[in-house]
Each structure stands twice: as structure tokens, then as C-alpha cells.
Amino acid sequence: MLAKAVTTMVKRQLVLLSSSQVHGYELMQQPKPILIEFFKKNNVTEVIFVPYAKVNEDYDGYTKMMANAILSFELQTSVKGLHTFPDPVEAINQAHCIYIGGGNSFVLLKKLYDLNLVEVIRKRVLEDGIAYMGSSAGSNVATRSIQTTNDMPIIYPPTFDALNLVPFNINPHYFDADESSTHKGETREDRIKEFHLLNDVPVLGLREGTLLVVDDNRATLKGIVNARLFTRGESREYAPDSDLSFLLQQ
């Protein structure tokens, strides 16, 4: 009874994108209608962009690029880089919307821990109900752990445990094996199956062009292609507009 009660009380307003860039579209343009609806629903007038997944630390350039993409939504929404604030914790405590961009998930998570932001972001999103957007690495860190990222571990975070805004894992940029390829290494599916030999946590394979919209205890797949959900011993395809709310009940 207690677990159900806690689940009922959770506030979540999330958009988790496989990627901000999709083939055939300009930056952030494929999910643009969904993001506009998300911004309007949550009265987002300012976005705090977290650029820390950018390994070369061109945080100004990265923030400007994402700000220009969001400017195309024509919502008069401002974008400020978290790195420009003297006190990142205070900035997150005052934020109305957090957007964590893509890059390297290990670098990103380490930075979030170094700046004491993990628990702060989690509280702001799950208790205060502010809007959260993530793409690629930013979607990885929104989940239970970054263990199903595609990135190389070029730096050591103190733990793989992430923000845990949702109780499952994501594999962004998921793609199926090319049967005509001569490549003999492990496929993405092989890697996720290896993860499941040691971990019993669902993994949502988000192909580029897919995103998950979470509205409190409801999760809906959006996009232009299917996603693939892996659980221990099996997998299943889900089409856009599928209800994946059961994933929030882990």
C-alpha cells in the first residue's frame, strides 16, 4: 500500500528525447510541435540549459546553439546556460524548466555530482513539479542509471546511479543490427542483453526520432518511428502514441 501511495503522489513533467538532431531535420525541429505543447502546458518562459555533457567544454557555444533552436519555437522563451550562474545550486532552485543536453553521459554525471546537483534536480522535478527536458545524455541521466549509455567511460563519476526521475533505463540512439553488414562485433541488442544478465531493469531503446513524454504518472511514446522495450529475456516494439505508463510503476 505504501509503494502505491508514493507513486500516486509523484509529480513529473518530462520530455526525454533520443536526440536533438534527427536526420532530415534541423536541430530540435522534428519534435518541435510536441515541445511547443510541453512549454505551453508548463508555462515555460525561461529554460536553464545544462551543457556539461559537452566534453570540449564549449559551454557558451553549446548553449547558444540550443537557444537559437528554441527561439524558432516563437514562444519568447529565454535560454540561459547553467555555467553562467555563480551558484549552480541556487540557479536550479530558482529554475522553472531544466534542459540537459547531449554529449558524454559519464562526463555529465560526474559534473552533476561534483556540483552537488543530483539531489537538487531530483527534488525540483519530483517534488516541486518543474519541467525537465533531456536529450541523449540528458535522457540517460534522467533514468535510474547510465549503465545503458552508448558513451565511452572517459571519466569516472562517483557512481552510475543517475537522477532517477523515472524507474527504468534508456538507450538513446538505439538502432537495429544491419543484417547485410560484415561487422562482427556486438550489436546494440547484444549489449542490452548483457546488461540484463546482471540487472533486472527495463531498458527503453529510443530510436532517433522518438521521445517519451511523461505527465505525472502517464508516459506516452511520441515520434516518427517505433521504440523497442527490452526486459530480461524479451523485447517488444511500440509504435508512436503507445501508452508506456506501466514503466513508471517499477
Active site residue 136: yes
Q: Which of the residues 19, 20, 135, 136 is marked catalytic?
A: 136
Q: Which of the residues 105, 139, 151, 196 is marked catalytic?
A: 151
Pairing of strands 131-135, 13-17: parallel
The per-residue pLDDT string of the chain (250 residues; one tens digit each, 9 = 90 and over) reads: 333 434 455 789 999 999 999 999 999 999 999 999 999 999 999 999 999 999 999 999 999 999 999 999 999 899 999 999 999 999 999 999 999 999 999 999 999 999 999 999 999 999 999 999 999 999 999 999 999 999 999 999 999 999 999 999 999 999 887 777 777 678 999 999 999 999 999 999 999 999 999 999 999 999 999 999 999 999 999 999 999 999 999 7
Q: What is the pLDDT of residue 2?
A: 36
Q: Which of the residues 96, 173, 216, 242 is marked catalytic?
A: 173
Topology (CATH) of 11-166+208-219? Rossmann fold (3.40.50)
Q: What is the pLDDT of residue 8?
A: 53
**C-alpha distance from residue 157 to each of 122, 161, 191 (Å):** 17, 9, 21
Angle at the Cα of 250 from the Cα atoms of 157 and 220, rounded to 5 degrees:
95
CB atoms within 10 A of CB 227: 26
Q: What is the pLDDT of residue 7?
A: 45
Q: Please, what is the angle between helix 118-126 and helix 105-114, to 10°?
A: 90
Active site residue 173: yes
Active site residue 96: no
d(CA 51, CA 61): 9
Find the distance separating the first CA and the last CA of the chain, reported in whole Å.
14
CB atoms within 10 A of CB 102: 26
